[in-house]
Structure 1
């Protein structure tokens, strides 16, 4: 199973990639929306870890584009606390779970374990 991590911060991408690999998944990394779309066109991942704040195109804009062709792709949105308006829009776009920044590695591992266990589209929440 492949997990795509989209975050513009190199250190966060590296940390997330390490956790994802330790949990037994293949990982695909992208530093911005354009790069994510390029890699997405090579084959969609099984799970998307997506940061809200990206240069150029936001994570929510990227998600809107992805939903056009992959409406059921499981998505974990990474966002800072206090962004309720973003969370409401994300839920409307079918985000399956939120990972608050700064994030808790154990929470991420739990989400990945639930996903690996055959989580249905809404059971990651």
Structure 2
């Protein structure tokens, strides 16, 4: 199994299960959180290498989550997930440090590409290319 721990933060149980199964099959260790607040707690205790965060969640949404990471100077690669085509959201995510924006529904090959890239490069912003 790979050393990297990936944290999945999504309020939808089905999406969390899909991501956990796919990433475990790819050899990653995976943890999950059902809310932004739970995700922040897990970041502090588990020290993941990457977070995959839903942008639209009740309570602390993905943008708020990214804001908290930024405010705490916690440098963690983040892949933002959304079911919406929203350029403003994409720009906010980029400004707050998300490396990629993954649109639901997504295919696993795109997920694997983003995860591997986010874990191996110092800074790899490709949001605009993904939105177009």
Aligned to 1:95: 98
Aligned to 2:79: 76
CA RMSD of aligned residues (A): 1.6
Structure 2 residue matching 1:78: 3-state secondary structure: strand
Q: Partners in 1 of 2:41 and 2:67 — Cα distance?
A: 15
Aligned to 1:122: 124
Total equivalences in the alignment: 124
Aligned to 2:130: none
What's the TM-score, normalizing by structure 2?
0.85
Q: Partners in 1 of 2:112 and 2:37 — Cα distance?
A: 27
Shift, 1:71, TM fit: 4.3
Shift, 1:63, TM fit: 1.1
Give unpaired runs (5+ residues) of structure 1.
Answer: none
* Matched-pair contact (CA < 8 Å) for 1:6–1:33: yes
Aligned to 1:48: 51
Aligned to 2:32: 29
* Matched-pair contact (CA < 8 Å) for 1:114–1:124: no
Higher deviation after alignment, 78-87 or 1-10: 78-87
